[in-house]
Amino acid sequence: MAGNRLTTSLGWDDGAVVAVDQRALPHEYRLLRLESVEHLVEAIRSLAIRGAPAIGLAGALGVALSVRRHSNGRTVDVRAVHHDATLLAEARPTAVNLRWGVSRALRRLPDGPEGVLAEALAMLDEDAATNRSAAGRAADLVISLTADRPARILTHCNTGRLATAAVGTALGAILELAGRGRVEEVLVDETRPLLQGARLTTWELGEAGVPHRLCVDAAAAAAMARGLVDCVLVGADRIAVNGDVANKIGTYGLALAAARHGVPFIVVAPESTCDPTLADGSGIVLEERGPEEVTGFGGVQVAPARSAVFNPAFDVTPAELITAIVTERRVIRPQGDGDGDRGSLAERVA
Ligand code: MRU
C-alpha cells in the first residue's frame, strides 16, 4: 500500500484485503478494508471488486483470510475453510478465474496461513508479469494489423489495472501501444448497465493521458461503418476449448459488427481465463443480475415500476468471429489461420 492510494486494484495489508471500491469511481477514490470472507464475497457480488483477473486474486486472498480466521496457531479447521472457499468460488458464476484463484490458494492449505498467504501474494506478482507479457504481445499484433499509422481502437467494459493486479489485459495492450506512440484514439463503450467503460476505463485512460472518446454502446457499430475503428480490443471472463469467449454483455454484438466491417477483433486475457473443461461456450454459466440495474439510471427510476427485465451480465462470442486470442504465452487464432490452432486451448499453458 502507498499512502491512501493503491498502486493496483487490490492487495493485502496486515490481516485484511484492501481494495479500490470500484462502485465509487470516478467521483471518489475510496479504499475498502475487508477483514472477513463475508465482506469480501459481498464486495465481489456488488462489483466493488470486479474484472475476471481481479476477482480471481480476491478469491485467493479470501482463502488466506479464512485460514487465518480458522487457525489456532497449531491446527486449521479445514472444513470451515472449505465452506468459505465455496462461498468465495460461487460469488459470481461466469469468470473461471474466481474458481481458479480459490482452488490454487486452497492447495497450499497443508502449509497453514503463511503458506496460503504466500501463494495468494505470489499470484498477485504473477498477474503483473502476465499483464505485461500479454500486453506486449497484443501490441505487436495490433501494429502488424494496422499498417504504419497509430490505431483507432474500440474497447468495451474495463480491462485495466482496476480489473487486474497491474496494467490490465486489453487496456494494458492499449497503454502499451500508447507508450509506443501507436494510438490515435480509443473509443470507449459506456458499457450499460453498470457503466464500467464510462466510469472506469475513461478514468484510467485520462490518468494515463491517452486520447479517447466515450460513446454509447449502440454507437459502436456505426463507428465501424464510418471507418472510425481499426481494431476492437476486449478482455474475457472465460474461454472455452474451441475459442468461444464469454465477456461483458455487448461483446458479441461488437464482434458481429467487426466481422461485417472487416475490423480485427482481438481478445486479450490471461491463461487463467481459459477453461479446459468446456468444449465450447454453450456450457458457460452467464450471470443474470437484478432488474434495478436496468430500470434505473444514477439512482433515478427511468422505466415503469415493476417492468420485467432481461439483464444478462455477459454474452458468448463464437470463436469464428474472433481474429485472435492473446495470452501471456501465445497468440491463438481460433479460425485456425496464422500461428495458432484450435486444439491449443485444450490445456492451460502452465
Ligand atoms: O461484470 P464485470 O465488470 O466484472 O465484467 C468484467 C468484464 O467483462 C471484463 O471484460 C473481463 O472480466 C476482463 S477484465 C481484464
pLDDT at 2: 42
Q: What is the distance in A from the centroid of ligand 1 to the CA of 163?
A: 7
> If you write DSSP's letter for every residue of 112-173 in order, what string do you get?
HHHHHHHHHHHHHHHHHHHHHHHHHHHHHHHHHHSTTS-EEEEE-S--SGGGSSSS-SHHHH
Pocket of ligand 1 contains residue 97 by CB under 6 Å: no
Pocket of ligand 1 contains residue 248 by CB under 6 Å: yes
Confidence at 345, pLDDT banded by 50, 70, 90 = confident
Half-sphere exposure of 217 (CA within 13 A, CB side): 18
Q: Which three-class secondary structure state does DSSP give residue 222?
A: helix
| pLDDT above 70 (res 111) | yes
Testing ligand 1's pocket by substitution, the residue of 8, 23, 55, 158 carrying the most ligand atoms inside 8 A of its CB is: 158
Query: Does residue 26 have a cis bond before it (omega within 30 degrees)?
Result: yes
Q: Which three-class secondary structure state does DSSP give residue 80?
A: helix
The 10s digit of each residue's pLDDT in 311-338 is 999 999 999 999 999 999 999 999 875 4
Pocket of ligand 1 contains residue 53 by CB under 6 Å: yes
Q: What is the distance in A from the centroid of ligand 1 to the CA of 159?
A: 6
| pLDDT above 70 (res 307) | yes
Binding site for substrate, by residue number, is: 50-52, 92, 196, 247-248
The 10s digit of each residue's pLDDT in 173-222 is 999 999 999 999 999 999 999 999 999 999 999 999 999 999 999 999 99
Instruction: Give the C-alpha separation, 19 to 161, whole Å.
Output: 12
Among the atoms of ligand 1, which is closest to the Cα of residue 234?
10
Q: What is the distance in A from the centroid of ligand 1 to the CA of 193?
A: 13
Pocket of ligand 1 contains residue 313 by CB under 6 Å: yes
Pocket of ligand 1 contains residue 64 by CB under 6 Å: no
C-beta separation of 231 from 264 below 8 A: yes
Nearest C-alpha neighbor of 314 from the set 191, 215, 221: 191
C-beta separation of 266 from 141 below 8 A: yes
Among the atoms of ligand 1, which is closest to the Cα of residue 171?
15
Helices (H), 146-302: 170-179, 196, 202-208, 220-225, 251-260, 292-295
Q: What is the mean pLDDT of residues 275-287?
A: 97
Binding site, by residue number, is: 50-52, 92, 196, 247-248
Residue 335 burial (CB < 10 Å; 0-12/13-18/19+)? middle
| pLDDT above 80 (res 340) | no
pLDDT at 350: 43
Q: How remote is the C-alpha of 150 from its chain's centroid?
A: 25
Instruction: Give the C-alpha separation, 201 to 188, whole Å.
Output: 7
Give me the phi and psi of 253, to 5 degrees please: -60, -40
Q: What is the distance in A from the centroid of ligand 1 to the CA of 108?
A: 27
Q: What is the distance in A from the centroid of ligand 1 to the CA of 73?
A: 38
| pLDDT above 80 (res 7) | no
Testing ligand 1's pocket by substitution, the residue of 22, 247, 288, 325 carrying the most ligand atoms inside 8 A of its CB is: 247
pLDDT at 343: 46
Query: For the whole prediction, is pTM greater than 0.90?
Result: yes
Could you tell me whether strands 296-297 and 300-301 are parallel, antiparallel, or unpaired per DSSP bridges?
antiparallel
Please name every residue paired with 234 in a beta bridge, in sequence order, or none if there are none. 267
Pocket of ligand 1 contains residue 137 by CB under 6 Å: no
Q: What is the distance in A from the centroid of ligand 1 to the CA of 180?
A: 25
Pocket of ligand 1 contains residue 230 by CB under 6 Å: no
Instruction: Give the C-alpha separation, 63 to 124, whole Å.
Output: 14
Pocket of ligand 1 contains residue 317 by CB under 6 Å: no
Pocket of ligand 1 contains residue 192 by CB under 6 Å: no
C-beta separation of 206 from 178 below 8 A: no
Testing ligand 1's pocket by substitution, the residue of 159, 167, 232, 245 carrying the most ligand atoms inside 8 A of its CB is: 159
Confidence at 347, pLDDT banded by 50, 70, 90 = low
CA distances from 87 to 33, 40, 66, 333 (A): 19, 10, 11, 36
Among the atoms of ligand 1, which is closest to the Cα of residue 268?
15
Scanning the structure block, which residue is given the C-alpha cell 504481445? Answer: 137
The 10s digit of each residue's pLDDT in 127-177 is 999 999 999 999 999 999 997 899 999 999 999 999 999 999 999 999 999
The 10s digit of each residue's pLDDT in 37-91 is 999 999 999 999 999 999 999 999 999 999 999 999 899 999 999 999 999 999 9
Confidence at 105, pLDDT banded by 50, 70, 90 = very high
| pLDDT above 90 (res 348) | no
Instruction: Give the C-alpha separation, 140 to 200, whole Å.
Output: 25
Catalytic residues: 237
Q: Grid coordinates representing 261? A: 466491417
Q: What is the mean pLDDT of residues 89-98?
A: 98
Instruction: Give the C-alpha separation, 31 to 48, whole Å.
Output: 10
Nearest C-alpha neighbor of 243 from the set 298, 324, 182, 305: 324
